[in-house]
Amino acid sequence: MKALGLLGQIEVPAQIAAVPRARRYVRDLLKGLDHPHTDDALLLLTELVTNSVRHSDSGRCPGGRITIAVAHYDGTLHIDVIDAGSTAGHHPLVRADVTTDSGGGRGLWLVRELSSAWGWYEILTGRVVWFQLGEGSPL
């Protein structure tokens, strides 16, 4: 079995101002792939990086950092957003009251709706939230 092919990895400050930099980096990595869901990948990346800034210890601590890793294998994009995690007991959760008309709280809802798979797990230094987009992903 082949492993995912790492396309690249970047570390950015855990600040809202770093979101465009993260998007540009990933957009440039994906440029040559001609993947049909590149726009979805950039939207979901934006949501996860924004969540890391707003809800993780990376965003709450001065000098906090977020790492983005992008891989590709057999038509599937895999993107990890790695941060310092948050207080014990707090974990990524898709809000039950979210609709397409909701004014906020749609980040993980969008990830769930647009990705072919997603999830999260704890690591020694924090948390990884990831998603995948296959060439035949939903929508």
Checking if the pLDDT of 17 tops 70, the result is yes
Using a cut of 0.75, tell me whether the model's pTM lies above it.
yes
User: Cα 97 to the chain's mean position, in Å?
Assistant: 22
Say if residue 4's pLDDT is above 80: no
Q: Please report which confidence band the pLDDT of residue 1 belongs to, taking 50, 70 and 90 as the band edges.
A: very low
Eight-state DSSP code of residue 43: H
Please give the Cα distance from 95 to 31 (Å, whole number).
33
| CATH hierarchy code of domain 5-133 | 3.30.565.10
Question: pLDDT tens-digit profile of 64-119?
Answer: 999 999 999 988 999 999 999 987 667 776 766 766 665 566 789 899 999 999 99
